[in-house]
């Protein structure tokens, strides 16, 4: 997953400074294409998926991009919960 440090302008926004490509790549690494297609049922994740085709679709489809960003935030929360419990 891409490392980043929040900028002073938006210190609490985990999406600040991340590209859509970095978000999609992190989701694919975490869930895989089948898992991503189950969670967000759009053709670009289910039928012959690729980062390039997904980015093209997400850039022109605001509602789908919002779902991807929401899933990314959910994934981060789940990872923090898992890491916090392993102390």
Topology of 20-84 in CATH?
1.10.720
Domain locations in the chain as residue ranges: 20-84
Give residue 85's pLDDT. Answer: 56
Helix, strand counts (H, E) of the chain: 4, 0
Q: Is the model's pLDDT at 86 over the cut of 80? A: no
Of 87, 27, 15, 14, nearest to 55 by C-alpha is 27
Give residue 87's pLDDT. Answer: 46
pLDDT in tens, 8-17: 566 688 888 8
pLDDT in tens, 24-71: 999 999 999 999 999 999 999 999 999 999 999 999 999 999 999 999
DSSP codes, 5-43: ---TTSTT-TTTT--HHHHHHHHHHHHHHHHHHHHS--H
């Amino acid at each position: 997953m891409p490392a980043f440090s929040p900028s002073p302008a938006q210190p609490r926004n985990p999406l600040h400074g991340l590209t859509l490509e970095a978000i999609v790549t992190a989701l694919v690494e975490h869930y895989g294409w089948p898992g991503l297609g189950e969670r967000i049922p759009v053709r670009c994740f289910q039928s012959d998926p690729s980062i390039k085709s997904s980015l093209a679709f997400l850039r022109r489809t605001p509602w789908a991009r919002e779902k991807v960003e929401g899933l990314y935030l959910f994934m981060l929360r789940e990872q923090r919960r898992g890491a916090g419990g392993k102390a």
